[in-house]
Amino acid sequence: MKISFLIVSICVLASTAVYGQQKVYYNQTELGALFGETEDDWNGESKTRVSFSMITFHGVRVSQYHSVGFSLGLDHYQMIDIIPFALGWRGFLGESGKPQMIGGFDIGGGSTILGEQVETEWGKIWYEGGVMASPSVGVFFPGRKGKTAMTFTLAYKLQKFSLFNGSFDRANTRSFLSSSLPSGYSSLTESSYSLQSLVVRMGLNF
């Protein structure tokens, strides 16, 4: 339910931005897939993963060939769904009104608000997001008379996040060695993940 609401919200944000748009406004909304490898925790073997990805970039043209702004998206991984958010840049190379090369760079973080959180009387398991960085390159196909255009992009994406597993201090027996733990916990472990993906996307420019 949360994922469906997010997808609808992003699409509405992208479409409503078209109305009242000015020449300085730039929007690039794309859907695609993440390709990468995931390591099996038991035997260390790598497996290929393919999953859904979407992004919408909203910015302003600071010059004829450069736009800066922010991006918001949704990436589905095997373990968790992450909402990437970032500041970004888009640059264009080529003659205006004809197909152009397009480059981009986004840097920010990833929210794990959609991740499952498990809490019992004994402990709690939850996710926390980390750094996200994604350079990209592609092709911009302008529409007729300056209307809706199409984009095709390839990107590299680095997404970090952590999985926490904590045990509650039910007997209030915290020692000096555990004084650095959050209040109410007798133990806490963190598993850090760094996912690297090739992203293939197609979309529209408004």
Q: How confident is the model at residue 71 (pLDDT cuts 50, 70, 90)?
A: very high
Domain contains 105? yes
Give one DSSP letter per residue of 87-107, joined into a string: EEEEEEES-TTS-EEEEEEEE
Q: Compute the average pLDDT of residues 21-29.
A: 79
Domain contains 171? no
Domain contains 121? yes
Domain contains 134? yes
- Residue 58: partners with Cβ closer than 8 Å, 6 or more residues away: 13, 17, 25, 26, 27, 69, 70, 71
Domain contains 18? yes
Tell which wins on pLDDT, 6 or 83.
83
Rounded Cα distance, 62 and 70, in Å: 14
Domain contains 179? no
> Could you report the per-residue pLDDT of 118-164, keeping only the tens digit for each?
888 898 999 999 999 999 999 999 887 667 889 999 999 999 999 99
Q: Which domain holds residue 86?
A: 2-161+191-205
Q: Compute the average pLDDT of residues 193-198.
A: 94
Total of domains in the chain: 1
The model scores a pTM over 0.85: no
Rounded Cα distance, 80 and 116, in Å: 8
Partners of 73 in the β-ladder: 55
Report long-range pairs for 143-149 (Cβ below 8 Å, ≥24 apart). 148/204, 148/205, 148/206, 149/204, 149/205
Domain contains 49? yes
| % residues pLDDT > 70 (the chain) | 81
Cβ proximity of 34 and 197 under 8 Å:
yes
Rounded Cα distance, 136 and 23, in Å: 23
CA dihedral 48, 72, 133, 26 (to 10 degrees): 120
Domain contains 168? no
Question: What CATH number is attached to the domain comprising 63?
Answer: 2.40.160.20
